[in-house]
Amino acid sequence: MIWNKERTLLVTGASGQLGRRVVEVLLEAEERVVAATRTPEKLSSLAARGIEVRRADFDDPASLGRAFTGVDRLLLISTGAFGARVPQHLAVIDTAVRAGVEHVVYTSFSNPEMWKERFVREHAETEAALVSSGLGWTVLRNNLYADLLVPKLSSAIASGELEAAAGVGGAGYVTRNDCAAAAAAALASAEFDGRTIDVTGPAVVTHEELAKMAGDLSRAPVTYVRRSPEEIRKRLIADGMSRDRADVLVSIDEAVANGWFQTTTGAVQELTGRAPTGVFEFLAEHSDILFSGAEPTLARPTPAIGARSEGAFSR
Residue ranges of domains in the chain: 8-142, 143-175+200-262+276-294
Helix extents (H) in 72-143: 85-99, 118-131
Q: pTM for the full model?
A: 0.90
Q: What is the pLDDT of residue 236?
A: 95
Helix extents (H) in 100-228: 118-131, 149-159, 176-188, 207-218
The rounded radius of gyration (Å) of the Cα atoms in the chain is: 20
> Do 196 and 139 contact (CB within 8 A), yes or no?
yes
Q: How confident is the model at residue 228 (pLDDT cuts 50, 70, 90)?
A: very high
Q: What is the pLDDT of residue 154?
A: 94
259 dihedral zone (left: phi>0; alpha: psi -120 to 50; beta): left
Q: What is the pLDDT of residue 291?
A: 79
What residues contact 169, with CB distance under 8 A and at least 6 apart? 206, 256, 257, 258, 259, 261, 262
CA distance 312 to 235: 49
Q: What is the pLDDT of residue 57?
A: 95
Please say whether the dihedral angle defined by the alpha carbons of residues 39, 42, 48 and 49, taken in this order, is positive or negative: negative
Whether 176 has a pLDDT exceeding 90, the answer reads yes
Strand order in the sheet with 196-199: 52-55, 32-37, 8-11, 73-77, 103-109, 136-142, 196-199
Q: What is the pLDDT of residue 132?
A: 98
In CATH terms, 143-175+200-262+276-294 corresponds, of 3.10.20.310, 3.90.25.10, 3.40.50.2300, 3.20.20.240, to 3.90.25.10
Across the chain, mean pLDDT equals: 91
Whether 207 has a pLDDT exceeding 70, the answer reads yes
Whether 299 has a pLDDT exceeding 90, the answer reads no
Q: What is the pLDDT of residue 310?
A: 25
Task: State the angle between helix axes of 229-238 and 243-258 in degrees (0 to 180), rounded to the nearest 10.
Answer: 150
Range 31-53 average pLDDT:
95
CA distances from 68 to 58, 65, 202 (A): 12, 5, 35
- The rounded Cα 13 to chain-centroid distance in angstroms is 12
Range 284-301 average pLDDT:
67
The residues pairing with 32 across neighbouring beta strands, listed in sequence order, are: 8
> Do 22 and 180 contact (CB within 8 A), yes or no?
yes
Q: What is the pLDDT of residue 300?
A: 38
Whether 309 has a pLDDT exceeding 70, the answer reads no
In CATH terms, 8-142 corresponds, of 1.10.10.10, 1.20.120.530, 3.40.50.720, 1.10.580.10, to 3.40.50.720
Q: How confident is the model at residue 311 (pLDDT cuts 50, 70, 90)?
A: very low
What residues contact 50, with CB distance under 8 A and at least 6 apart? none
